[in-house]
Amino acid sequence: MATRIVTYEELKANNHKKSLYLLLHEKVYDVTKFIDEHPGGDEVILAETSKDATEAFEDVGHSDEARALLTDMFVGEFEKNSGLKVQSAAKYAPSQSAAVSNAVQQGSNMMYFVPLGLLGAYFAWRYYSSGSL
């Protein structure tokens, strides 16, 4: 199925509590049903209608759970060349580099603790074996 393209006109038309679209990461979401449940309240969302809400959404540092909610609200891709300045989705794509640097970080922790543990074990062994001589 082809992805629906949502125009800037449509985005602007759905800017009220009865029908509310949000533009995030170059995609448009229908948040009408969600707005009353939003832990951050409805006003902050209403303030982000008819424009790119990406930066506001990202500035809050929404959790992965919050991001997962978006899947069900997806309407379509926002039209290209709408004239509206839109944050590129790539900028906010779940960054691989974060995952990689986490892995590297964990890896380098291991690099310290494994040899330290071995050294500790060696001295413990020496201590106990010399004591028994």
CB-based closest residue to ligand HEM:
40
Q: Could you tell me where the beta strands, DSSP code E, fall in the chain?
A: 5-6, 15-16, 19-24, 27-30, 74-78
CA distance 70 to 30: 9
Displacement of CA 26 from its chain's centroid (Å) = 14
**From 59-67, 75-83, 103-111, 113-121, span contacting ligand HEM (CB under 6 A):** 59-67
Q: Three-state DSSP class for 125?
A: helix
Closest approach of Cβ 74 to ligand HEM, in Å?
10
Interface with ligand HEM, residue 69, by CB under 6 A: yes
Interface with ligand HEM, residue 56, by CB under 6 A: yes
Q: Where are the alpha helices (DSSP H) in the chain?
A: 8-13, 42-46, 54-60, 64-73, 89-92, 96-131
Interface with ligand HEM, residue 45, by CB under 6 A: yes
Interface with ligand HEM, residue 6, by CB under 6 A: no
Positions in the binding site for ligand HEM (CB under 6 A)? 22, 29, 31, 34, 38-40, 44-45, 48, 53, 56-57, 60, 62-63, 65-66, 69-70, 73
